[in-house]
Chain A
Amino acid sequence: MNPDLIIPLLAAAVQSGTPVLFATLGEMFTEKSGVLNLGVEGMMLCGALAAFVASLYTGSPVLGLLAGGLAGALVGSLHGLVCLTFLGNQVVSGLALTILGTGLADALGTPLVGRIAPGFGPLALPLLADLPLLGPVLFRQDPLVYLSYLLVPAFWFFFARTRPGLRLIAAGEYPAAAAAAGLDPVALRWAGILGGGFLVGLGGAYLSLAYTHLWTSNLTAGRGWIAVALVIFAAWRPGRAVAGAWLFGGIMAFQLRLQAAGTTLPSSLLLMLPYATTVLVLVAAAMRRGAARGSDAPEALSVNIEPED
């Protein structure tokens, strides 16, 4: 492939990976507090719709972004209700949320098809945009991509160095010990769900406000599920989430560019690349690490906290 295509490909990788990155960080936030929420796809789609509607009717993409986040948190709160209050099984509740969320968004959004909402466009950062290689790839993107750059270190800092972050981790690792120490693990998990849901909603909002300025059913097209996978892929570390999201987005962009460059490989096989790569990288990482070390997941992930007697 032509070297001239590398820089546009890398830039496309960053942009294509951004909605997934938001969703991955959101799900990671929730999982760190001990709750597994497989409803990401539904939350993302609802976030996309809410953001689109808000931006369409208020004319402000920023309000749209906020609305998207809030919608994600709101839909996520259903999961909280079922799992934290009613102690439902987290795996299945998340799945139900995906089914419900995508159904709601598709049903409510039909009249909005064919409209364009004001959104975010590319904004080249002065000075930074002129750096060689890094400039065109990283600094000629839209504002939400820049937000994601800030989000990753903030995420790390929150969990590594702040008290609220450490409390959330406690709720995810040893809720019983946390309770004994005077914390309220259920409240912490609520925070995890709502905060994570907000970020997931932002990911959805990115699709309808920045990546495109449109709404149709199936706007997320499975990206929520990729985010769930990437949290595991990233071993619950934000830095690796970036790598995973950009890798996935990059491979998707790559196979499209392969076609544009004139390959005669069947498109079904090319489309397999992102998913196959995810599995292969996981397997490679596992082989290097050795099975003995086990999982990096929070100890109490998906284990409900039962009320004491």
Chain B
Amino acid sequence: MFGLTAHKRTEPPGWGSVCIFPAALALALFLGLGLLALTGRPPLAVLGALLSGAFGSVRAVEETLLKTAPIFLCSLGVAATFRIKVWNIGAEGQYALGAVGGTAVALAFPGLPASVLLPLMFLGAALAGALWAAIPALLRQRLAVNEIITTLMLNYLGILFLDWLVYGPWKDPASHGFPMTALFAPGAVLPRIPGTRLHWGLPLCAALGLGLWFFLSRTRLGFELKASGEGRRTATYARMPYDALVLLVMGLCGALAGWAGLIETSAGLGRLQPTVMAGYGFTAIVVAWLARLRPLAIAMAAFLLAALRVGVENLMLDFSVPAAFGRILEGLILLCVLAGQFFTTFTLRRSKPLAPNPAPEPAPKPTGEAA
């Protein structure tokens, strides 16, 4: 195409690859703002509103950070499964089950002090989420049932289960008939870090992220996990059956997504209601991929996408931009980054023009050696 052919890089890309992500981001923003410009909204002003909405004040940054936490947790989990090529798109459902598990504990023991109740809630959320993820894992390993389909179906089932609970057995009699549980006892609400509007879920995320990073880059098992494409080698190395590895990683994802659900329920709403579902499970997949499955990069990408969501709200107010615009930008960013990642693995070179003699060549050969 255009007289260029692609060739696999024989040496790792230089610092040029660092530019790819911002370049792709810029392209996506350019396209998105361009679309808005077509409808008469000045692009630079829109960009300004987007940025100021996400970062323009301490409060804005706090809001962005608060939104980063659930995305980050779900992404960590999803990245772990994607690493061993288990295509788990069930983070939404696992998030829902985590919220349910944590709520079950909160509603069962309202009198306990926070120091006991909160850890129990986290345990409950982790178990519920892990269980929900274990189902597709078992089906995959024992019966070769494709996990894309099972995790997808379990998303719907998980959310409907949550719905059933809050419309039925867990509905708060004092809620005037609306689908929500009773307000959590003070001991069940994740407390704020004094002096800010952030809650302790954020340091937890930081700790988990660092822990996972350490595990992946500084331990042998983690290194194997990072290096081996499909996981079977890792399993051999860890001396555990491949089935167990899949179950473990899926369970981990379920637990992490479950904690995201719990945090949003406890710190964000203070009760369980259907609006706890916010599509973080799907954004998590986007983030995990943008960050090439690495924990620290995931933190940055999660922050970026949270900023996007928060910033777009500003746009809605200032420029009457429709709510769907955030999705347009998110999709564009991902597509551009995916396309851009091409350049880290391949390089384009001018292909030698076809020789004038009529005998056809299947493909032009590259002229020189490695560039």
Chain A contact residues, CB within 8 Å of chain B: 38, 42, 78, 81-82, 85-89, 91-93, 95-107, 110, 217, 222, 225, 228-229, 232-233, 266, 268-269, 271-272, 275-276, 278-279, 282-283, 286-287, 291, 293-295, 297, 306-309
What separation, in Å, do the CA atoms of A308 and B286 have in the docked complex?
A: 29
Per-position 1/0 for B86-130, Cβ under 8 A of A:
010100000000000000000000000000000000000000000
Min C-beta distance of A131 to chain B, whole Å: 35
A-B contact count (CB 8 A): 155
Shortest 9 CB-CB contacts between residues of A and residues of B: A100-B331, A103-B327, A88-B338, A96-B334, A268-B164, A106-B324, A286-B143, A99-B331, A86-B342
Contacts of B6 in A (CB 8 A): 307
Q: A95-B282, A106-B324, A282-B149 are in contact. Are A87 and B366 (CB under 8 A)?
A: no
Min C-beta distance of A44 to chain B, whole Å: 15
Is B157 an interface position by the 8 A CB rule?
yes
Residue of B nearest to A291 (CB): B144
Interchain CB contact (< 8 A) of A291 among B143, B152, B164: B143
Min C-beta distance of A237 to chain B, whole Å: 15
Is B363 an interface position by the 8 A CB rule?
yes
12 pairs, A vs B, C-beta closer than 8 Å: A95-B282, A96-B334, A102-B327, A103-B329, A106-B322, A106-B324, A217-B324, A229-B152, A229-B153, A275-B157, A286-B145, A309-B366
What separation, in Å, do the CA atoms of A272 and B165 have in the docked complex?
A: 13
Interchain CB contact (< 8 A) of B145 among A99, A282, A293: A282
Interface centre among B161, B164, B366 (most CB of A within 10 A): B164
A88-B341, A91-B87 known; 18 other A-B pairs, CB under 8 Å? A38-B148, A82-B339, A92-B289, A95-B282, A95-B285, A96-B331, A96-B338, A102-B324, A268-B160, A268-B167, A269-B160, A275-B156, A278-B153, A279-B154, A282-B150, A295-B144, A307-B346, A309-B8
Q: What secondary structure prevails in chain A residues at the interface with B?
A: helix
Min C-beta distance of A125 to chain B, whole Å: 35
Min C-beta distance of A249 to chain B, whole Å: 15
| CB within 8 Å of A: which B128-176 residues | 139, 142-146, 148-150, 152-154, 156-157, 160-161, 163-164, 167-168
Interface centre among A102, A225, A228 (most CB of B within 10 A): A225
Residue of B nearest to A101 (CB): B331
Contacts of A97 in B (CB 8 A): 331, 335
Contact status B157-A272, CB under 8 Å:
yes
What separation, in Å, do the CA atoms of A300 and B200 have in the docked complex?
A: 46
How many interface residues does B have (CB within 8 Å)?
Answer: 53
Contacts of A276 in B (CB 8 A): 153, 157
Interface centre among B289, B329, B345 (most CB of A within 10 A): B289
Per-position 1/0 for B1-35, Cβ under 8 A of A:
10001111000000000000000000000000000
Contacts of B161 in A (CB 8 A): 268, 272
Min C-beta distance of A89 to chain B, whole Å: 7
Q: A103-B330, A268-B160, A268-B167 are in contact. Are A93 and B149 (CB under 8 A)?
A: no
Min C-beta distance of A41 to chain B, whole Å: 11
Contacts of A309 in B (CB 8 A): 7-8, 366
Contacts of A295 in B (CB 8 A): 144, 146
Contacts of B328 in A (CB 8 A): 100, 103-104, 107
Residue of A nearest to B162 (CB): A268
Residue of B nearest to A274 (CB): B156
Is B332 an interface position by the 8 A CB rule?
yes
Per-position 1/0 for B218-244, Cβ under 8 A of A:
000000000000000000000000000
Contacts of B334 in A (CB 8 A): 92-93, 95-96, 99-100
Interchain CB contact (< 8 A) of A278 among B149, B164, B331: B149
Contacts of B209 in A (CB 8 A): none
Is B325 an interface position by the 8 A CB rule?
yes
Is B201 an interface position by the 8 A CB rule?
no
Is B326 an interface position by the 8 A CB rule?
yes
Interchain CB contact (< 8 A) of B152 among A93, A228, A268, A294: A228
Contacts of B331 in A (CB 8 A): 42, 96-101, 103
Min C-beta distance of A281 to chain B, whole Å: 11
Contact status B342-A268, CB under 8 Å:
no
Contacts of B324 in A (CB 8 A): 102-107, 217
Residue of A nearest to B331 (CB): A100
What separation, in Å, do the CA atoms of A271 and B159 have in the docked complex?
A: 11
Min C-beta distance of A40 to chain B, whole Å: 12
Contacts of B146 in A (CB 8 A): 232, 295, 297
Interchain CB contact (< 8 A) of A110 among B142, B152, B322, B339: B322
Interchain CB contact (< 8 A) of B325 among A38, A103, A225, A282: A103
Per-position 1/0 for B344-358, Cβ under 8 A of A:
011000000000000
Residue of A nearest to B10 (CB): A309
Contact status B322-A307, CB under 8 Å:
no
Contact status A232-B163, CB under 8 Å:
no
Residue of B nearest to A267 (CB): B167
Contacts of B142 in A (CB 8 A): 291
What separation, in Å, do the CA atoms of A110 and B39 have in the docked complex?
A: 14
Contact status A99-B327, CB under 8 Å:
yes
Min C-beta distance of A78 to chain B, whole Å: 6
What separation, in Å, do the CA atoms of A308 and B5 have in the docked complex?
A: 10
Contacts of A222 in B (CB 8 A): 156
Residue of B nearest to A106 (CB): B324
